[in-house]
Each structure stands twice: as C-alpha cells, then as structure tokens.
Amino acid sequence: MTWVLVLATAVFAAAARGQERGAESLVGKLLVASENMGDPRFAHTLIYVVEHGADGAMGLVVNVPVADVPLADLFTRLGVEATDVSGQIGVFYGGPVEPGRAFLLHSSDVLLEGSVKVDDAVALTARPEILGAISRGEGPQRSLFAFGYAGWAPGQLESELARDAWFVIPGEAALIFAEDPVQSWARAIAQRGIEL
C-alpha cells in the first residue's frame, strides 16, 4: 500500500476558515460517539473536528491506534529521505474516508510553512518535514499521525447530533493526545453530564 502525506489546500483553507466561525461551529471540539451510534465504524470513537460549516464537516478519530511503526519505514513508504531517521511513531485510524491520506495533528508549539492552526493549541501539518523534526526531537511536544478522516456532507453531522449519535465536549489536549487513547472514550463519556 502506498501512503500519501498530503492534505488538499482546500481542506487547509477550510480548517483556517473554521477559526473564524461563530459559536455554532464545532471546530476544535470533540465528538463523542454515544451508545446510540449506529455506525460500527464509529462505535466508541472520539473525533476532533477540524472543519464544520455550511459545506459539511471533517474530523480525525483520535482514540483508535493501529500500530507503532519505525519512522524510517514510514519515511520509506512515504517516499521521503530516511537517512539518520530513528524512533517510532504511533499510527492511528483517522476515519473511513480516503484511508491512504495521512494527517499529522499536533500541538501548536511547532509550526511549519503550510501548518494550519485549528485552534490555539492544535494544528494540522501535511509537510513530511514535520516527521523529520519529530525524528530529531525537534517536533511538536504532542502529535497524532493518522490515515483517513471522518467526513460529513452538509447537514449530515447536524442530523446525527439531533439523533443523539454524538455529543460534544471541549477539545482537551489530554483526550486528543492521550497517553492511553483506548481509554479516552470512557473518560469522555464521563463528561456527558458536564455543562458546556
């Protein structure tokens, strides 16, 4: 399988527009799959929303790790020079849409040209140089490398929210970049009764 570390300019532009949205936007929030979630692909998932507006919504599943992969192997698969690359990176299932497309969601302490801040604390970067910075210990403090994403057509997410398939909580870094992501859904479910 060939992996591609690309993120369409339109998606980055959409994420950037999300920063300017009003209170109705879910950009920067976490969607928590409720017990009413009928789609097995999203059962017990947390999705960090990077775009939400009239054109639909997009997010990344942040609590489904797939494997730990040597960075050198990942670089080779991405067609990036792997000289002096060491260490491993966790690979996550980001969602069912375009499973060959890679995304790096990370803390905003390190930004490259083309990085997009989703909110004050979290950014998206599609340039492979960010992986090189991570391998040298010069990357962001926290990161999540995912393949695929979750996407909704206009009005689709709102319909799912109305059916109580999801509930919304703040996009806390402790859940987005969790030490034990498999436990994140249970921790998020516990927040359901907290007033937002």
Q: Is residue 1 in a domain?
A: no
Chain CA centroid to CA 63, Å? 9
Q: Is residue 96 in a domain?
A: yes
Q: In sequence order, which ranges of 19-120 are alpha helices (DSSP H)?
A: 71-78
Q: How far apart are CA 2 and CA 14, in angstroms?
A: 26
Q: Domain residues for 41? A: 9-189
Q: Is residue 146 in a domain?
A: yes
Report the length, in residues, of the chain: 196
Q: Is residue 194 in a domain?
A: no
Residue 137: predicted pLDDT: 85
Q: Is residue 195 in a domain?
A: no
Tens of pLDDT, residue by residue, the chain (196 residues): 333 444 333 344 444 444 444 448 999 999 999 999 999 999 999 999 999 999 999 999 999 999 999 988 888 887 777 777 878 899 999 999 999 899 999 999 999 998 999 999 999 988 878 888 888 888 999 999 999 999 999 999 999 999 999 999 999 999 999 999 999 999 999 887 654 4
Q: Is residue 159 in a domain?
A: yes
Residue 193: predicted pLDDT: 62
Residue 75: predicted pLDDT: 84
Q: Is residue 65 in a domain?
A: yes
Provide the CATH number for the domain around residue 63.
3.40.1740.10
Q: Is residue 4 in a domain?
A: no
Q: Work out how many domains the chain is built from and give that number.
A: 1
Question: Exposure of 175 by Cβ count < 10 A (0-12 exposed, 13-18 middle, 19+ buried)?
Answer: buried
Residue 29: predicted pLDDT: 97
> ∠ CA 16-102-65 to the nearest 5 degrees?
110
pTM for the whole structure:
0.85
